[in-house]
Amino acid sequence: MRNLQEWLYGFALALILTTQPLHAQKLIKDSKELTELRAKAESGDAVAQFNLGSSYANGEGVVKDDVEAVKWYRKAAEQNDADAQFNLGNSYANGKGVTKDDVEAVKWYRKAAEQNLA
């Protein structure tokens, strides 16, 4: 019984030690991708702005932050990105990152619908 416990302990330790570098590599890769995405978004790329907003809305590669998501959705929406307009409408409809405002929600839903996004 003792040999089995020692073996399991050793196996668990080896598993932990071998997976840590892989996880660290993924974080570095994500950080680089996030830096590149942010640079594109800040330079005015509407698709990058939408994607950065989605990253903040879902907590992918960043800490989830609905206010920051709305900020980036708005920048893309103002450039007529229909997906961003729809998500901004959702933000207003649900009060996520902004004060709930049905009039503002309808405004952004309408803009998205005018581009055939329903």
Q: Is pLDDT of 2 > 70?
A: no
Residue 40: how many other CB atoms lie within 10 Å: 16
Q: What is the pLDDT of residue 26?
A: 37
Q: Determine the Cα–Cα distance for residues 60 and 52; give it in Å rounded to an integer.
A: 9
Which CATH number does 2-113 carry? 1.25.40.10
State pLDDT tens for residues 37-95. Answer: 999 999 999 999 999 999 999 888 888 999 999 999 999 999 999 999 999 999 999 99
Q: Determine the Cα–Cα distance for residues 110 and 112; give it in Å rounded to an integer.
A: 5
Q: Is pLDDT of 29 > 50?
A: yes
With residue 36 as reference, give the H or E element that holds it.
helix 2-42
Q: How confident is the model at residue 16 (pLDDT cuts 50, 70, 90)?
A: very low
pTM higher than 0.85 for the full model? no
3-state helix, strand, coil in the chain (%, to 5): 75, 0, 25
Q: Determine the Cα–Cα distance for residues 33 and 97; give it in Å rounded to an integer.
A: 24
Q: Determine the Cα–Cα distance for residues 24 and 7; give it in Å rounded to an integer.
A: 26
Q: How confident is the model at residue 31 (pLDDT cuts 50, 70, 90)?
A: confident
**How do the domains of the chain map onto residue ranges?**
2-113
Q: Determine the Cα–Cα distance for residues 33 and 110; give it in Å rounded to an integer.
A: 33
Q: What is the pLDDT of residue 32?
A: 84
